Amino acid sequence: MRWLAPAKVNLSLRVLGRRADGFHDLRSLMVPVSVFDELVFTHKEDGELEFFCDVPDVPADESNLVVRAVRLFCGAVGILPQLSVSLQKAIPHGAGLGGGSSDAATTLLALDALYQTGLSRDVLADLAAELGSDVPFFVYQSAAWIGGRGERVEPVTVLPTLPLLLLKPSFGVPTPWAFQHWKDAVEIPGISYEAQAHEGLVFVNDLERPVFQKYLFLADLKRWLLGRPEVSAALMSGSGSTVFAVLRDKEAGFRLGEEAVKEFGESLWLYVCETIS
């Protein structure tokens, strides 16, 4: 059984405050995009769970979110995890694109289909919340407004399809660090943090302040994108390190990507895609 796990971007991300449990309350509009990891699930007649990944630095032990999702699901429904799971990565790690969370949620959806357990999306989302803050979003396979620490998901059925250029440097940004430094961060002069409007949507990210303070490369990347005529809006996704450009025309994204590599270096990962409604 083959399943595709999409990446996501945050079209908006507001941090409302720190909670008593150490997490932060959020209000975010998240949307899947057409960049996919691929998961293949094969039932085994006997033996223990096997997990393989084509990226060597992705852990294959019990700390992996896919492995944890298999254990959690099988424990919840009372079956043995007699499975072989293969993961092929296309979504980069530490990118603010939710690759690991999507892999985990897709695993829950796939196992529900494989074992025909018929669990509702809400039940699967409750399981997903035990794995991570972004995981419940991917269970609903839809754009959604996210609340709480990520466990409250309000699917959105109608959004415009947006062509995007994703750009990620060779480094990642630790999500806990970004939230820890959110409250005391200040804006860098000359960098726009203001909300941007396009197609009836508002693009803004409160985590740009702390992340740009430490990672000036990302601030420069956003400023460069906003100066390009092909770009309608530009924003960091999640806690970074991906910055995305909303394109006026999808085909222009390939040329823009080439120019970005010339400007910022060949280590820049880029991908032309679009939002999935």
Q: Over the stretch 253-274, which tens digit does the pLDDT of each residue have?
A: 999 999 999 999 999 999 999 9
Predicted local distance difference test score (pLDDT) of residue 150: 86
- Out of 37, 103, 112, 134, pick the active-site residue: 134
Looking at the domain 2-156, which fold is it? Answer: Ribosomal Protein S5; domain 2 (3.30.230)
Task: Examine the residue annotation and report whether 89 is marked as an active-site residue of this protein.
Answer: no
Three-state secondary-structure class, residue 69: helix
Residue 142: DSSP 8-state: S
pLDDT tier for residue 157 given thresholds of 50, 70 and 90:
confident
User: Do residues 212 and 188 touch, judged by C-beta distance below 8 A?
Assistant: yes
- pTM for the predicted model, two decimal places: 0.95
Task: Examine the residue annotation and report whether 112 is marked as an active-site residue of this protein.
Answer: no
Predicted local distance difference test score (pLDDT) of residue 228: 97
Class of domain 163-274: alpha beta
Query: Domains of the chain: which residue ranges?
Result: 2-156, 163-274
Task: Give the C-alpha separation, 235 to 207, whole Å.
Answer: 10
Q: Over the stretch 51-90, which tens digit does the pLDDT of each residue have?
A: 999 998 888 899 999 999 999 999 999 999 999 999 999 9
